[in-house]
Amino acid sequence: MENIVVIKCGGSTVDALPSAFFESIRAMKDNGKHPVIVHGGGPAINKMLKQLKIKTEFVNGLRKTTSDVLEAAEMVLSGKVNKDLVSAFQQAGAAAVGMSGVDGQLLKASPVDLETLGLVGKIDDVNEEIITFFLENGYIPVIAPIASANAGEKLNVNADDAAAAVAQALHAEELVFVTDVDGVIINGKLREKLDMTDIDSLIENNTIYGGMIPKVKAAAASLTGKIEKVTIANGNGENTYEDGTLKGTAIMKQTETIQ
């Protein structure tokens, strides 16, 4: 299937996304592209964990996931956040369907490091046929990143990694990470383009740090097949889609040569 665009909505932006964002995705669809949404829900999960008095911690930007944390994360991601996004798309006039990575074994994963991260998974396989089915029938799939493991248990998957895996499996032409920042900020200024070779050195010298590390790593890892560019952009409505892409930091296989 051609013209697939995978759009990852960061948890910190989900509640703040304006109606213009959902309308722009509908317009993208109306113009012949096929958007697929993968979303996070970090702040909502934090709120639920606080209410349930469940302790949580992060290791290199990834949430350490105990069984209690996983249960709360699934409740929030597959429940409220997923359905709120589906409702917002429908209010914008776009047909959408919500699902978890557990549904139909859409996302299959294995543990990253049980001792360090607990029930955090890395994607091993994506059942792209389910996603394609909904795309072919005119729906925007909205995917929560809870995955199935081989033994039947569930795993919490970083939404950036899930979006990258979905984009690879679908041979998407575009991947956009929608977050609450304009992109990668270096010395107070937005870097509009980054070469893959830049990323390791910027992480090593702590220019890129915290939660931005998994974002840029997932972006770089997804630069295979048809995907030539991955954009990290702000979804606050000030930037608008141009030719199906949000303004932000474009991470490319190689930067363009300036003549």
For this structure, is 235 an active site residue?
A: no
CA dist 37 and 183 (Å) reads: 19
Angle at the Cα of 180 (from 43 to 119), degrees rounded to 5? 40
Of 18, 14, 160, nearest to 80 by C-alpha is: 14
Catalytic residue among 160, 161, 182, 198: 160
Catalytic residue among 215, 235, 244, 248: 215
pLDDT by 10s per residue, the chain, length 259: 889 999 999 887 888 888 888 988 898 899 899 999 999 998 899 999 999 999 888 887 778 899 999 999 999 999 999 999 999 999 999 999 999 999 999 999 999 998 899 999 999 999 999 999 999 999 999 999 999 997 778 999 989 889 989 998 999 988 988 887 788 888 888 888 888 778 888 888 888 888 788 778 877 877 877 787 788 888 775 555 555 556 788 888 765 544 3
Of 130, 129, 164, nearest to 145 by C-alpha is: 164
For this structure, is 160 an active site residue?
A: yes
For this structure, is 84 an active site residue?
A: no
pTM (2 d.p.) = 0.86
For this structure, is 50 an active site residue?
A: no
Helices (H), 59-158: 67-74, 82-91, 114-117, 128-136
For this structure, is 11 an active site residue?
A: yes
